[in-house]
Amino acid sequence: MTDTLDFYFDFSSPYGYFASTAIEQLAADIRRTVRWRPILLGPMFKAMGSGPLVEIPLKGAYARHDIARSARLFGIPYREPAVFPIAAVAASRAALLLQEDDPQQAAEFIKRVYRAYFAEGRDITDMDVLVAAADQAGADGSRLPAGVATDRIKSRLKEEVDAAMARGVFGSPYMIVDGEPFWGFDRFEHIRKWAASAS
Amino acid sequence: MTDTLDFYFDFSSPYGYFASTAIEQLAADIRRTVRWRPILLGPMFKAMGSGPLVEIPLKGAYARHDIARSARLFGIPYREPAVFPIAAVAASRAALLLQEDDPQQAAEFIKRVYRAYFAEGRDITDMDVLVAAADQAGADGSRLPAGVATDRIKSRLKEEVDAAMARGVFGSPYMIVDGEPFWGFDRFEHIRKWAASAS
């Protein structure tokens, strides 16, 4: 069994989406297995006295431009969602629920939900969209509506976010490898350099 | 005469320092000439309701780690300054003053001041340090103490910052090429890809 690369992401994060398209290749390159960890940025923004990137004066307009350009330069399908950002609570709970049964199906679900939101113009706060993504990932989507509404799964997501913040996680995507933290899709090359210099 | 790459930087910005070590090569690669443009982040942070990176909860601790690690991974000499961040007003005014006489000497001055602060443990709010850097850059450092205190140069820096913000500049380093904005040392590869796809 190989060591893991913890991959923290918020479903409402475009750079998290970009990272989701390349994280498995990165992990393979440095001989790690991806551990997909959905989080919510809301509580983190609160701790930092910050807010969603695209809503910050000056920086927000640049961010929208940089997001679309990054997608183009890296050849990643992207269309800015009609409603953005969103609180992706249901999708995150669904991912945790699916992971309990089959981490591989859950990973496929996560990638499909990201793509639905950032490339296909779908509304991922809509439970039907999540159910379809789960079915396409080979899981039983019909479990989701009741499953994400349980106190147990609600608590689990809250605990995941608290535990992430206790480890210093404050953004998306955020990767931790052997205790070493990396923030941002633009740190993928740093991870490769770091792994090469550490080995 | 080639087109310019506008390079905006704050002398108190570590990523601006990293960029200063590589910006001329980048510009040469895409057939541009660097136009070195000192700015102050203070007024920009105010507009964004933000503050110095390393003082932000959660993000600050990561930033210190990422700065030191980035220097190591890219082979750039770096030692965290004893006092950091600082208001690098005098250094910025000095750079503008020197540019009036000789942009090439001013560029050399800027690189030396950055190195003094981020690699050699010098205090760049100390006028003696600035005078020495100017002398070493081939300029007449003795002009600086009186020169940076004139209302004219004070106004020029203020105007530069205002004009930069009017163009959307909000961070350091910040590059503009043919009207296209790029923020961050980690966008150097984006600039290369962008230039290649545009030509």
Q: Residues A144, A131: contact at Cβ < 8 Å? A: yes
- Domains of chain B, with CATH numbers? 4-198 (3.40.30.10)
What backbone phi and psi angles, to 5 degrees, belong to B175?
Answer: -115, 140
Given CB atoms, is A64 within the 8 Å cutoff of chain B?
no
Q: Residues A60, A53: contact at Cβ < 8 Å? A: yes
Query: Alpha carbon B9 to chain centroid distance?
Result: 3
B168 and A57 within 8 Å at the Cβ level: the answer is no
Q: CB neighbours (10 Å) of residue B23?
A: 24
Mean local confidence (pLDDT), A6-19: 98
Q: What is the pLDDT of residues A123-141, one digit of tens each?
A: 999 999 999 999 999 999 9
A183 and B73 within 8 Å at the Cβ level: the answer is no
A48 and B70 within 8 Å at the Cβ level: the answer is no
Distance from CA of A54 to the nearest CA of B (A): 12
| Mean pLDDT, 10 residues at a time, chain B of 199 residues | 90 98 98 97 89 87 96 97 93 98 97 98 97 98 97 98 96 97 97 90
Among B47, B58, B186, whose Cβ lies nearest the Cβ of A186?
B186
- A39: tokens are 């989080």
- What is the torsion angle, in degrees rounded to the nearest 10, for the CA atoms of residue B34, residue B38, residue B41 and residue B44? -80
Q: Find the angle CA(A141)-CA(A146)-CA(A147) to the nearest 5 degrees.
A: 70
- Taking contacts as CB-CB distances below 8 angstroms, the residues of chain A near B163 are none
What backbone phi and psi angles, to 5 degrees, belong to A74?
Answer: -100, 5
Distance from C-alpha of B62 to C-alpha of B53, rounded to nearest angstrom = 10
Distance from CA of A56 to the nearest CA of B (A): 6
Distance from C-alpha of A144 to C-alpha of A130, rounded to nearest angstrom = 8
Q: What is the pLDDT of residues A43-58, one digit of tens each?
A: 999 888 888 888 888 8
Distance from C-alpha of A164 to C-alpha of A110, rounded to nearest angstrom = 18
Q: What is the pLDDT of residues A129-180, one digit of tens each?
A: 999 999 999 999 999 999 999 999 999 999 999 999 999 999 999 999 999 9
- B123: tokens are 């205090």
Chain A: residue whose CA lies nearest to B192? A73
